[in-house]
Structure 1
Amino acid sequence: MPSEAQSRSPVSVSSIRESLTTTATRTQLAVIGITVFALFLRLINLGARVAHQDEARVAYWMARYAENGVWFYRRFVHGPFFFHVNSFMFEIFGANDFIMRLVVALMGAALPLAALLFRKRLRPSETVALAALFALNPILLYYSRFLRNDVPLAMVMVFALGFFVRFFDTRKLRYLFLGVASFALGFTMKENALLYLACWVGAGALVYDHRLFLGRVGNEGIAGAIPPKLRNWFRENDGRTIKRTVLKGVGVVLLVVVEFLAIIVFFYAPRSQTRPGVGLWKAFSNPGMFPELIHTSTVETWQQFISWSNSSDHAYLPYLIDSLRSLEVGALALCLLAVVGFLVDRYSGDRPNALVSFGFYWGVASVLGYSLAMDIKAAWAMVHAVVPLAFPAAVGLALIFRWGREGYERGDDVSAVAAAVLLLLVSAQVGMAAYDTSYQNPQSPDNQLVQYAQSASSPDDVKPLLSDLQQISQENDGTDVLFFGEELDTPDESDNDVPPPGPGWHARLPLGWYFETADAEVASTNRSTDLAGEKPPIVVTLNNVSTCISEDGTAEDIDSYMEGYEAHQFQRYGFNSGCHVSDMTIYVEEERIISES
């Protein structure tokens, strides 16, 4: 890569243009190459991990939506984006663990491309470093292989910020509209899009304070905080021109508002089909329904949306410690580089880079804020801290690279070797953490990135069994699966066709998702005597490991009836905790077993 330092020797305008073009092209090619590698990392064994409880819960309803077309917003399963997108994917490619995570993986892999939107605010080496951090960070990698909204939300918000920055730099309206579209999509994914807005306002206020301070130091007063181009424009134009420009701006603002609301209404509008109530497709045949539809999609949705902020009530320090542990495991190098990059940028050069400062303030606020906002301990919250901290971290990483390259060019072996060692240490820490968390131990309770509702059963042992269960269900006539016990019993299985589900449904997860994808005929009972006679080929019950399980509701109560069946152990959670009983027994008719599990 050519040196970024300004050459002191005389050069022609054409050579400068050629050099800049070559550098830009190399930067773009490097970012594209990183993006391709990021996609490769995210697609390797994407469907191997057993579905987490949250994945199974929302994927089940996505599959049901693909079948019956009924959807309405429930904040417990977050925004509608993946319901609409994944139901479409399921219709085309079928429903399985790989497909349910595919769009998340694609969006996570696309995140490095956002670095190109900031290339006018960053050096070429910093742009490439930013893309690499987005691609390789272990936390972003792990949750790019997980059906959650966190990485996609971070991705669209970073793109939105990038488009807004490009609009500010170029004044081209297409970037404004693209930014608003990305920003609106964030609000269709998860409620903590509100926290992005809050962090941006706070970080923006601190960056603006930089301008005020620098204006004061330069004896320009508050006027120093106003961009010179804007000041000159006001000086050079008369009142009529300014008025015309203001009216044009008002028109653009109205278009932006309409664009934002159109996206929100499209995604949040209920799909009621033949059920009572308003529905998006119903409104096209009955236009008088549109006012109520818009009210439901905006005002009523907003009321549910903001109620999310009142969902946490816990001690702050344990959650903060858990967040810091997640950063230690999944983003130690990035956090250290972020501190270095922020300090170097702030205290060297003519003035701090507003983008770098903005990212650092945004990231620190996210670390502190999410520990308060979260209702459960989960490393996925740190996705929203890692992404902004990658901006100052890119400055720190690029600084080490330039230090080593410049040392090599001037024959300073000590600097070159020291930089190489630092880069190797960073690469080793990131690589080892990524391999351990995403590939070697993706559902181990000892993995800090694994939340407790992830099944601890080994995928090598359980995936063949789950495949057998699905194949048996597809080949069997009549009832395929019987859930036994009060905890698993749903008196009317049709209650599980549309949300909210009937009693017992949540306790079946994640198995309910796998049976749904096989279109299994499911029944349940609370009486052990129902198993004395003819039974389905698959019977599922909890193990008696907790006083929370009622009498006549566990494997001990029916084991004597299960002659001719082979018992398999399955852990729904990473561990047993109180009434969260992880241990399950799955009985499979011996003559139906297909593979050795």
Structure 2
Amino acid sequence: MKWQLTILVCLLAVAALAVRVIDLDRRPMHADEGVQGLKFIELLEKGNYRYDPDEYHGPTLNYLTLPAAWLRGEHNRQALTETTLRLVPAVFGAGLVLLLLMVRDGLGRSATLSAALITAISPALVFYSRYYIHETLLVFFTMAFLGSCWRYLQTRNRGWAAAAGAAFGLMHATKETFVIELFAMMVALAVVIVTRHKRQNAPEAQGNRAIKIEWSDVGLGLVVAMVVSVIFYTSFFRYWRGPVDSVLTYFPWLRRAGGASPHIHPWWFYLERLAFFKRQSGPVWSEASLLVLAIAGIGVAIRPGLYPAANAQLVRFIAIYSVVLAGVYSAISYKTPWCVLGFYHGFVLLGGVGIAGLLTICRARLARGVCVVVLAALLCHLGFQTWRTAYAQPADRRNPYVYAHSSPDLLRLVDKVNAIARANPNPDKFAIQIMAPGGDYWPLPWYFRKYPRTGWWSEIPENPYAPVMVVGAKFHADLDEKSDKRWLMVGFFESRPGVFFELYVELELWKKYVETLPRDND
């Protein structure tokens, strides 16, 4: 019954939220998270937001973080926490489970429930739902768009056309790569329309219904999409260049996609992370179980009779969309692991269909029992991988989803500087100088956001001295020797793999800090 399925999906959504929100601050901030966090502070404290076409992506992440900060009583940089920032993608990540209810009549009961379970425990979806970046929001709005389109096709209700337009506008206002998803959708739709004519007399009757739309409803959806996009890109009608910049942004991004970026990787970059990933002496990571289930789902798309409860056209669309999207992202030279989420979510939907198809095929009691045991083992393996990626090793460079990530050692540096600052007798005069080659000091600006007297340098200035100095090791600064030991080098810290900082502290301040340390009873 529909209400039973709804209850089960809602329970899985609650479980998905719990998995995503526990210990959100256990992992150090990535440089990208730090950049986005400081940009949000401008909006939080001053109400200022200006879309930058060269960096930062779209405005939805910033604006949707405002309610979270307000509800948690965090109105300035001193109060704002990593947990609040990461709550936003975590909530939208769990919301992906609920969106499956929009297509339950297209996927069928078993596939909907199976896809909801995989979404709740998926390693990649859970890991990046705990990341303050745009990808999870883009996946959510993409699914909302597809779900709204499906509901419109089933009901011809103009409200769903408007909802699809709103979701499409939010996709555009989230990240520039939405055009790749749009391209994959257009290819999938074209193939479904062409192949439908060849299957009119096929036995799977419910999968071959003609696709009918009212062009006035399409126009309504486009108007709503434009309005939503303009609202966000104009910063709620205060910055009218924003919509223009949302088009001009493709020039710098095309340069990056073509190879003008340090993030250039071979075509198998994503496949390696999903199928078999091993670094150094670390363990093997694999989501081959999801790939196997997705392949089973593609089998249902090819042979709809294997799972007649699903709509053949919808399953075919999801399969083509996911494969095309994976192919395009793999062909683009510019790659970062979080970009996997777009087609990965498609694989999750196909995995749900694959599970339902396998259970349908295995009708005999023994065969079904074996199938259930195997499927349970595959899902348990996915859950184990999620625990490893999100909780056991969330910042370990051997984790396939960790990419140029801050080392946990960076938090030791931050804690040390905070403790020294508390020991300073003149807090109003406390200052920090941060020096790193090429300005490679992120995410330290996020962690030191509470200190207004902080200088940031891409080289060592003529007068570098301050009560505390954090200096890139590549400079070989030797500021303790150059200052005749009036400053001491008191620590060496890893920022991320291959990037190290030296910590220098004024001698008298260091003495005061040492006095605050607990004494041994001896």
TM-score of the aligned structures, taking structure 1 as reference length: 0.74
Matched, 1:364 2:320: no
Worse-matched range after superposition: 179-188 or 391-400: 391-400
Pairs within 5 Å for 1:95-114: 95-114=80-99
Residue among 54, 61, 65 paired with 1:82: 61
Q: Which residue of 1 aligns with 2:494?
A: 571
Kindly report the root-mean-square deviation, in angstroms, between the aligned alpha carbons of the 2 structures.
3.2
Q: Which residue of 2 aligns with 1:65?
A: 43
Q: Which is higher, the Rg of structure 1 or of structure 2? A: 1
**Which AA in structure 2 matches 1:443?**
A
SS of 1:50's partner is: coil
**Which AA in structure 2 matches 1:340?**
A
Distance 1:255 1:215, change over 3 A: closer
Distance between the aligned counterparts of 1:161 and 1:324, measured in 2? Answer: 25
Distance 1:402 1:217, change over 3 A: closer
Q: Which residue of 1 aligns with 2:430?
A: 479
Distance between the aligned counterparts of 2:425 and 2:85, measured in 1? Answer: 20
**Which AA in structure 1 matches 2:325?**
S
**Which AA in structure 2 matches 1:206?**
V
**In the alignment, is the contact (CA less than 8 A) between 2:431 and 2:454 conserved in 1?**
yes
Q: Which residue of 2 aligns with 1:18?
A: none
Distance 1:67 1:390, change over 3 A: same
Distance between the aligned counterparts of 2:443 and 2:161, measured in 1? Answer: 42
Alpha-carbon distance, 1:565 to partner: 5.1
Distance 1:61 1:86, change over 3 A: same
Distance 1:317 1:185, change over 3 A: closer
Pairs within 5 Å for 1:489-528: 506-516=439-449, 518-523=450-455, 526-527=460-461
Alpha-carbon distance, 1:153 to partner: 0.3
Q: Which residue of 2 aligns with 1:396?
A: 354
Q: Which residue of 1 aligns with 2:500?
A: 583
Alpha-carbon distance, 1:348 to partner: 4.8
**In the alignment, is the contact (CA less than 8 A) between 2:141 and 2:167 conserved in 1?**
yes
Distance between the aligned counterparts of 1:164 and 1:475, measured in 2? Answer: 61
Q: Which residue of 2 aligns with 1:257?
A: 222
Distance between the aligned counterparts of 2:94 and 2:517, measured in 1? Answer: 35
Matched, 1:334 2:290: yes
Distance 1:330 1:466, change over 3 A: farther
**Which AA in structure 2 matches 1:355?**
L
SS of 1:477's partner is: helix
Distance 1:187 1:348, change over 3 A: closer
Q: Which residue of 1 aligns with 2:104?
A: 119
Distance between the aligned counterparts of 1:209 and 1:466, measured in 2? Answer: 64
Q: Which residue of 2 aligns with 1:31?
A: 9
**In the alignment, is the contact (CA less than 8 A) between 2:141 and 2:171 conserved in 1?**
yes
**In the alignment, is the contact (CA less than 8 A) between 1:466 and 1:514 conserved in 2?**
no
Q: Which residue of 2 aligns with 1:353?
A: 312
Distance between the aligned counterparts of 2:106 and 2:313, measured in 1? Answer: 9
Pairs within 5 Å for 1:176-575: 176-215=161-200, 227=210, 250=216, 252-269=217-234, 280-281=237-238, 294=240, 296-305=241-250, 307-314=252-259, 318-328=265-275, 329=285, 331-349=287-305, 353-373=312-332, 375=334, 377-401=335-359, 407=364, 412=365, 414-452=366-404, 454-458=405-409, 461=412, 464-465=415-416, 468=419, 476-484=427-435, 487=437, 506-516=439-449, 518-523=450-455, 526-527=460-461, 531=465, 535-536=466-467, 538-544=468-474, 549=475, 554-558=476-480, 561=483, 567-573=490-496, 575=497
Percent identity between the two aligned chains: 21
TM-score of the aligned structures, taking structure 2 as reference length: 0.84
**Which AA in structure 1 matches 2:91?**
L
Distance between the aligned counterparts of 1:429 and 1:33, measured in 2? Answer: 21
Residue among 143, 147, 160 paired with 1:175: 160
**In the alignment, is the contact (CA less than 8 A) between 1:66 and 1:88 conserved in 2?**
no
Q: Which residue of 2 aligns with 1:288?
A: none
Matched, 1:47 2:32: no
Distance 1:523 1:341, change over 3 A: closer
Distance between the aligned counterparts of 1:473 and 1:155, measured in 2? Answer: 47
**In the alignment, is the contact (CA less than 8 A) between 1:32 and 1:113 conserved in 2?**
yes
Alpha-carbon distance, 1:133 to partner: 1.6
Superposed CA offset, 1:399-418 (max 9, x none): 445567x54xxxx3x32441
Q: Which residue of 2 aligns with 1:284?
A: none
Distance between the aligned counterparts of 1:472 and 1:363, measured in 2? Answer: 56
Distance between the aligned counterparts of 2:49 and 2:264, measured in 1? Answer: 38
Alpha-carbon distance, 1:253 to partner: 4.4
**In the alignment, is the contact (CA less than 8 A) between 2:410 and 2:495 conserved in 1?**
no
**Which AA in structure 1 matches 2:387?**
Y
Superposed CA offset, 1:24-80 (max 9, x none): 111111100110011001111111111111111121122133233332221311111
| 5+ residue gaps, structure 1 | 1-22, 219-223, 231-244, 272-279, 282-292, 488-503, 577-581
Distance 1:141 1:595, change over 3 A: farther
| 5+ residue gaps, structure 2 | 276-284
Distance between the aligned counterparts of 2:176 and 2:425, measured in 1? Answer: 38
SS of 1:73's partner is: coil
Count of residue pairs brought into register by the alignment: 487
**Which AA in structure 1 matches 2:356?**
A
Q: Which residue of 1 aligns with 2:143?
A: 158
**In the alignment, is the contact (CA less than 8 A) between 1:473 and 1:480 conserved in 2?**
no
**Which AA in structure 2 matches 1:514?**
Y
Distance 1:542 1:310, change over 3 A: closer
Distance 1:253 1:346, change over 3 A: closer
Alpha-carbon distance, 1:260 to partner: 1.7
SS of 2:305's partner is: coil
**In the alignment, is the contact (CA less than 8 A) between 2:165 and 2:223 conserved in 1?**
no
Distance between the aligned counterparts of 1:402 and 1:380, measured in 2? Answer: 34
Residue among 103, 127, 146 paired with 1:142: 127
Distance between the aligned counterparts of 2:428 and 2:96, measured in 1? Answer: 46
Distance between the aligned counterparts of 2:448 and 2:264, measured in 1? Answer: 40
Distance 1:483 1:347, change over 3 A: closer
Distance between the aligned counterparts of 2:136 and 2:417, measured in 1? Answer: 28
Superposed CA offset, 1:451-507 (max 9, x none): 12x11234774674476478679982223312246x3xxxxxxxxxxxxxxxx6x42
Distance 1:466 1:422, change over 3 A: farther
**Which AA in structure 1 matches 2:221?**
V
Of structures 1 and 2, the one with the larger relative CO (CA 8 A, separation 6+) is 2
Distance between the aligned counterparts of 1:512 and 1:457, measured in 2? Answer: 16
Distance 1:397 1:481, change over 3 A: same
Distance 1:461 1:363, change over 3 A: same
**In the alignment, is the contact (CA less than 8 A) between 1:269 and 1:297 conserved in 2?**
yes
Distance 1:52 1:170, change over 3 A: same
SS of 1:320's partner is: coil
Distance between the aligned counterparts of 2:347 and 2:81, measured in 1? Answer: 34
Alpha-carbon distance, 1:595 to partner: 7.7
